[in-house]
A and B are shown apart, each in its own frame.
Chain A
Amino acid sequence: MNILYGLLSPSAGTVKIKGEEVVLRSPEDAIDRGVGMVHQHFKLIQPLTVTENIMMGYESPGRGHNRYAVAVTLLVLVFSVSLFLLFLGSIPALIASVALVLVIIAAYKSYEIMNYIVEKLYPHTSRGGVRGFVARFLYSISMTFRYFIMNFVPLGIHEAAEKIKRIADENGLAIDPNARILDISVGLQQRVEIIKALYREAEILILDEPTSVLTPQEVDELFATLEKFKDSGKTIILITHKLREPMALCDRISVLRDGELVGTVNRVDTSPEELAQMMVGRPVVFRVQKGPATPGDVVLDVQDISAKDVRGLPAVKGVTFQVRAGEIFGLAGVEGNGQTELVEVLTGLLKSDHGNIYVKGRNVTGKGPRTMREAGIGHIPEDRHKRGLILPFTIEENLALGNHYRPPYSSKKAGIPGFLNLNTIQKNAEKLVHDFSIKVGRVTDTADTLSGGNQQKAVVARELSSEPIALVAAQPTRGLDVGATEYIHNVLISLRDSGVGVLLISAELDEIRNLSDRIGVIFGGRIVAIKDPETTTPQELGLLMAGQTGEVLQ
């Protein structure tokens, strides 16, 4: 969709809009061709008003002149005329005043004048010889002037507000054009985004996960609006992972998996089950060898945790589960259903609103990351570049990260003036590199020289070296090739066999089904089911991941 909107360039392939092959270099090109996009993360500027946000990048000069411009002009006129009368004789003053009035009129009409000049010149620019030459010269100068003037002419905010009101009324999208974005609700903000697309006369509307921020009533209102658009001849592309939506709204449904198109079906010919099957695909290619689990005591006890995301919206809504020693508890779910926030709470990066977390009976609710780590929670972050590694640091420094402050990496027991034990850090790095077969040039090379798979291996090696009691692995094989994926899977299994409790959070259903001893499904910030991998089918899990069941587990 970013390619369709001009935000990304495709490395291969073509895009045709209305039968015409196009190259979209920027969103401006896309907008010119009638493509509008409503992003998942709104592109709105909080302190500005609705009108200002909608006009942005599509400003037109005001045809009427606002009160302030007229007032200022009159003031200047009065002031100048009085100065003329004071310092010049009466005849020169008269001439000067008339000249000033003419200049003001010209200034007010300057945009129209420049437009006229530019339009008159344009046909001559393609001529050859001296005439064409002169024409091109004058044309460039006029265009420059026009651009200059365009930026100084008063904005047509009133016209824009009127147009917005008109669009809003025509489509049943009530909005106050003068409200500020930070004052209105998220549902209304999304409405602003939709109006933004309509304001630019979009015929093709792309909506990226529009319902993730809406209440059920707002979702119904949105769908009603989209139906109306459809009836008026617009084209709508809806990106979603919730099966209810395309089944309720769409005429045709395409399923993408791993960047490839699985198939396109008509709504009337398909069912949620078939869609779920297409989404999760065939059974897994590699079946990891693992013996039966021997779960022991509960090592991680999560009780009724709730938390909000960065936008202040509830992301985790009362999650409860346990992980036992020697088992892998897989949490399946499409990304964006609260997993990120849950992981942050479990690793001390986010405070939960209420609920408790116990590690081997010890209450660690609300503690910071260092305490969590010391309590025995290991963390493989989902974004290794952002959270896992410090790329400008050397590999050995990265492998000591998190434990750098305590012996044997540091020479003192605790305390601020601790000295690093560089020898130990290097030896430890070499050992980990050897044990985990991480392909490095030298441990003193920087971490950005490692490939993606080896970077993830480094993160895993580091986390395991502190011998955690419970490991939270968030999307551990994201972006890795088959070999690295297999390696990480084996590591997780051997970890489980040595008595560690592993919480595996992944959007890859194959991975979850392959590795887990118990499977939980998270949807909309809640655990909607806990299943046994032996007795559940991928279709069932897919449906649960897409919200297709009424049950919510307490």
Chain B
Amino acid sequence: MIEESTPSMEQTALLTFVDRLMMRLKSKSLHRNILHTFASIVLALGTAAIIMLATGYDPLQAFSALFLGAILNFDQVLWRATPLLLAGLSVALAFKCGLFNIGAEGQLYMGSLAATAVGYMIALPIVVHQLACLVVGVGVGFLYALLPGVLRAYRGAHEVVTTMMLSYAAVFFTQWMVSQGPMHNPGDWRSISPIIFDSAQIPKILGSAFLNWGFIIAVLFVVVVDFFINKTVMGYEMRAVGSNEDAARTAGIDAKRNMAIALGLSGALAGLAGAVEVQGYYHRFYDQWSGGLGFDGITVAVLGRNNPWGVLGGAIFFGALKAGGLFMQTSAEVPSEMVQVIQGLVVLFVAAPRLIDWFSNHGVAYARWIKDRPLFGFLSLIALSYGVFGAFMGILVAGPYVSSNFSLLLLGFVTSIGGLVVAIFHFQRDERRTRATWMVALLWALMLVSGLSMAAASVVSVALTLAGVGFVISILLMRLQPKSDELKEAA
């Protein structure tokens, strides 16, 4: 056999690396994850649009303002993404070990406070000072999370409770430190610390007023965290403990030590997030400057499915939402709280894959059932559509009355839910579907009555139609119901 020159070690390593990367990118699970995430975002935006319609805002204008705002202020997008990225990495890393680090906010505060302290109390030469502040921020964050980590690993104290409580403690502690404590800026009526030295500040880049080298550091840490999780022994052991603690223990892995360190490292990342923000933008510690970045980090980690690169995407997405949100408020007059609504909806819909799976499973059964009894099945399908349509109309019709007639809004809400219930009952061939259908028709009749009493034309017209249609459908359902199904209904 002719021997070709064997490739060198470096060439082999590079080829393997590229090979693995290509395999990861081409894998089916990655495609499915991206599709599901995309679907979650679309569903979230869709629901937000409905809410906006119901409360009288123009969703198209709002979304275009959001989009435009993000594009025009792209440097702001990246700046806002920086702490989200690091906090997201923090939560994602803890989750790889099966732990929930809910207290990233507190670790963030402690890290930033420590970095501020080193920033203005000590004078050091240029690069050294910045690094020192960062290192101290990381270290304090590490220790602040190591405590609940040790408690969880060696005493079983659930980290959700301990990290959450310590988060509160951190917020109040730092507040005291800069209002009445030793770090208060002398003579200042605000609760802030003195400004950190220039040598401790992280410079801005590209002439932006917001974006600084902190973003580069954060992206660097995406690589670092990915490397740590997948290519180091400790990352392997942490993943093992998070996936199957019994098997990990049987294989000789010290689960307790790994858990404690995992939570500590998670806190270190959160502390870095805080330090970077203070050194890069705020340059001093403002009381409660964060406003929930630690908790947003949880959202980002969920959206990114605990994968470092997914977290990067999620952080940029949420950064865009935040940056665009301000623009949305000024130009489309939609309150920027809408951004938080969208954020919450995105997290809700990240569970969408399960919904989609549920739909497809039951949908096949439903379709078959309709085929078996075409007339009644078709009627049931109409009732289902009635339920879905009614669900939308309930919110849309009653929405404008949120301030004037709250009970109407409530009634509309209940009717909406009723419509959903009707749809679900018909979809699952539940025996209570006929009862549910005419109950919802009754609710629409009630809406009609209240609409008449308020002389609200829109409410009256919609309610009249829907009540009438509902009653007709109910009577038809009761008349045409096959005998075999009726026995079950009598229960």
Residues of the A chain whose Cβ atoms lie less than 8 Å from the Cβ of B355:
none
Render A362-390 as a binary contact track against B, CB cut-off 8 A, 1 for contact.
00000011111100000101000011111
| Chain A residues whose C-beta falls within 8 Å of the C-beta of B234 in the assembled complex | 416-418
A-B contact sample (7 more), CB < 8 A, given A381-B250, A401-B251? A348-B252, A370-B252, A373-B252, A420-B232, A420-B236, A422-B20, A426-B16
User: A393 within 8 Å of B by Cβ?
Assistant: yes
Q: Mark A255-286, 1 if CB is under 8 A from B, else 0.
A: 00000000000000000000000000000000
Pair B252/A126 contact, Cβ less than 8 Å = no
Question: In the complex, A198 Cα to B250 Cα: how many Å?
Answer: 42
Q: In residues 421-442 of chain B, which contact A (Cβ within 8 Å)?
A: 435
Q: Contact at A402–B251, with CB atoms within 8 Å?
A: yes
Most A Cβ at <10 Å: residue of B16, B232, B236, B239: B236
Cα distance A140–B431 in the bound complex, in angstroms:
13
Docked pose: A480 CA to B285 CA in angstroms:
63
B16's nearest neighbour on chain A, judged by CB, is: A423
Please list the residues of chain B having a beta carbon within 8 angstroms of any beta carbon in chain A: 12-13, 16, 20, 23, 230-234, 236-237, 239-240, 243-244, 246-254, 435, 478, 490
Q: How far is the CB of A309 from chain B (nearest CB, A)?
A: 16
Could you tell me if B252 and A391 are in contact, using CB atoms closer than 8 angstroms? Answer: no
Task: Write the nearest CB–CB distance from A378 to chain B, whole angstroms.
Answer: 11
Main secondary structure of the interface of B (DSSP, over half): helix
Nearest opposing residue in chain A for B253, CB measure: A370
A391 to B248, CA, bound (A): 11
Contact with B along A97-141 (1 / 0, CB 8 A): 000000000000000000000000000011000000100110010
Q: Which B residues lie within 8 Å of A392 (CB)?
A: 243-244
Residues from chain B with Cβ under 8 Å of A145 in the complex: none
Q: Chain A contacts of B249 at CB under 8 A?
A: 349, 369
CA A393 – CA B253 in complex, angstroms? 15
Given contact pairs A391-B244, A401-B247, A369 touches B233 in the complex (Cβ within 8 A): no
* Interfacial residues of chain A within 386-418, with CB under 8 A of chain B in the complex: 386-393, 397, 401-402, 404-405, 410, 416-418
**Are the CB atoms of A404 and B233 closer together than 8 Å?**
yes
Q: How far is the CA of A370 from the CA of B250 in the complex (A)?
A: 8
A369 with B23, Cβ < 8 A, contacts A126-B490, A419-B233, A422-B231 known: no
A151 interfacial by beta-carbon distance below 8 Å:
no
Who on chain A is nearest to B24 by CB?
A: A444
B-contact bits for A166-186, CB 8 A (1 contact / 0 none): 000000000000000000000
- 8 Å CB contact of B233 from A388, A391, A402, A405: A405
Given contacts A136-B490, A347-B250, contact A390 B232 (CB under 8 A): no
Q: State how many angstroms separate the Cβ of B16 from the closest Cβ of chain A.
A: 6
Residue of A nearest to B435 (CB): A140
- Chain B residues contacting A388 (CB-CB under 8 Å) are 247, 250
Residue of A whose beta carbon sits closest to that of B489: A136
Cα-based distance from A426 to B237 in the complex (angstroms): 17
Taking a contact as CB atoms under 8 Å apart, the answer to whether A349 and B250 are in contact is yes
With contacts A140-B435, A368-B252, A369-B252 taken as known, whether A387 is within 8 angstroms of B247 at the C-beta atoms is yes
B446 to chain A, nearest CB (A): 16
Q: Which residues of A contact B251 (CB under 8 A)?
A: 369, 373, 401-402
Query: Which of A348, A371, A390, A420 is in CB contact (< 8 Å) with B244?
Result: A390
Closest to A402 in B: B251
Separation in Å of the A465 CB from the closest CB of chain B? 13
A390 CA / B250 CA spacing, docked (Å): 11
What are 25 inter-chain pairs, A to B, with CB distance below 8 A? Answer: A136-B490, A140-B435, A349-B249, A369-B250, A372-B252, A386-B244, A386-B246, A387-B246, A388-B250, A389-B247, A390-B240, A390-B248, A392-B244, A393-B240, A397-B236, A401-B251, A404-B233, A404-B237, A417-B232, A418-B234, A420-B232, A422-B16, A423-B16, A426-B16, A444-B23
Which residues 221-275 of A have a CB within 8 angstroms of B?
Answer: none
Task: Determine which residue in B230, B233, B243 has the highest number of CB atoms from chain A within 10 A of its CB, and name it.
Answer: B233
Question: Which residues on B sit within 8 Å (CB–CB) of A402?
Answer: 251-252
Q: Are A420 and B231 in contact (CB under 8 A)?
A: yes
Closest to B250 in A: A387
Whole-angstrom distance between the alpha carbons of A386 and B253 in the complex? 15
- Min Cβ gap A20→B in Å is 19
Distance in Å from the Cβ of B445 to the closest Cβ of chain A?
Answer: 15
**Per DSSP, are chain A's interface residues mostly helix, strand or loop, or mixed?**
mixed
Asked, given contacts A126-B490, A418-B234, whether A423 binds B250 with beta carbons under 8 Å apart, the answer is no
Smallest CB-CB separation from B23: which chain A residue?
Answer: A444
Cα-based distance from A418 to B246 in the complex (angstroms): 23
The smallest beta-carbon distance between B25 and chain A, in angstroms, is 13
Could you list which residues of chain A lie within 8 angstroms of chain B, going by C-beta atoms?
125-126, 133, 136-137, 140, 347-349, 368-373, 379, 381, 386-393, 397, 401-402, 404-405, 410, 416-420, 422-423, 426, 444
Chain B contacts for A393, CB-based, 8 A = 239-240, 243
With CB as the reference atom, state the residue of chain B lying closest to A125: B490
Q: Once the chains are docked, how many angstroms separate the CA of A249 from the CA of B237?
A: 53
A416 to B233, CA, bound (A): 8
A126 to B488, CA, bound (A): 11
- In this complex, what residue of A is CB-closest to B432? A140
Q: Is the CB of A390 within 8 A of B236?
A: no
Q: Contact: B252 with A390, CB < 8 Å?
A: no
A-B pairs, 8 with minimum CB distance:
A370-B252, A418-B233, A402-B251, A369-B252, A390-B244, A387-B250, A392-B243, A401-B251
Instruction: Give Cα A401 to B252, complex, Å.
Output: 9
Contact between B490 and A390, CB atoms less than 8 A apart: no
User: Contact between A379 and B239 (Cβ–Cβ < 8 Å)?
Assistant: no
Indicate if the CB atoms of B490 and A386 lie closer than 8 Å.
Answer: no
Residue of A nearest to B244 (CB): A390
Give the complex CA separation of A419 and B13 in angstroms. Answer: 15
Residues in B neighbouring A373, C-beta threshold 8 A: 251-252
In chain B, what residue has the closest Cβ to A420? B231
Shortest beta-carbon distance from A129 to chain B in Å: 10
Task: Tell me which residues across on chain B come within 8 A of A368, comparing CB atoms.
Answer: 252, 254
Instruction: Note all chain A residues with C-beta closer than 8 A to B248.
Output: 390
The smallest beta-carbon distance between B139 and chain A, in angstroms, is 17
Bound Cα distance A137, B240 (Å): 56
A391: chain B residues at CB < 8 Å are 243-244
- Least CB separation from A446: chain B residue: B29
Contact residues in A for B16 (Cβ distance below 8 Å) = 422-423, 426
Q: Give the CA-CA distance A220 to B12 in the complex, in Å.
A: 73
Find chain B residues with CB under 8 A from A416 CB.
233-234
Shortest Cβ distance from residue A277 to the other chain B in the assembled complex, whole angstroms? 37
Specify which chain B residues have a CB less than 8 angstroms from the CB of A389 in the assembled complex. 244, 247
Contact between chains at B13 and A423 (CB < 8 Å): yes
Q: Which residue of A lies closest to B490 (CB)?
A: A126
Q: How far is B235's CA from A505's CA once the two chains are assembled, in angstroms?
A: 34
Nearest A residue to B232 via CB reads: A419
Q: A444 to chain B: which residues have CB within 8 Å?
A: 23
Give A406 Cβ to nearest chain B Cβ, in Å: 9
**Complex-state Cα separation, A393 to B241, whole angstroms:** 11
The complex places the Cα of A347 from the Cα of B244 at a distance, in Å, of: 18
**B13 closest partner in A (C-beta):** A423
Given the known inter-chain contacts A369-B252, A401-B240, A402-B252, please indicate yes or no for A386 contacting B233, CB distance below 8 A. Answer: no
What is the chain A residue whose CB lies nearest that of B241? A390
Q: Is the CB of A390 within 8 A of B233?
A: no
Minimum C-beta distance from A364 to chain B (A): 13
* Chain A residues within 8 Å of B12, by CB: 423
Min CB gap B98→A, angstroms = 11
A375 to chain B, nearest CB (A): 11
A402 to B236 Cα, complex, angstroms: 11
- Complex formed: what's the CA distance from A371 to B253 in Å? 11
State A417–B478 Cα separation when bound (angstroms): 71
User: Which residues of B have CB within 8 Å of A417?
Assistant: 232, 234
Q: A348 contacts which chain B residues (CB < 8 A)? A: 252
- Report the Cα distance A423→B249, complex, angstroms: 25
How far, in whole Å, are A360 and B16 apart by their CA atoms in the complex? 42
> In this complex, what residue of B is CB-closest to A426?
B16
Nearest Cβ distance between residue A398 and chain B, in whole angstroms? 9
Q: Whole-angstrom distance from the CB of B471 to the nearest CB of chain A?
A: 13
CB of A411 to closest CB in B, whole Å: 9
Residues of A contacting B237 with CB < 8 Å? Answer: 404-405
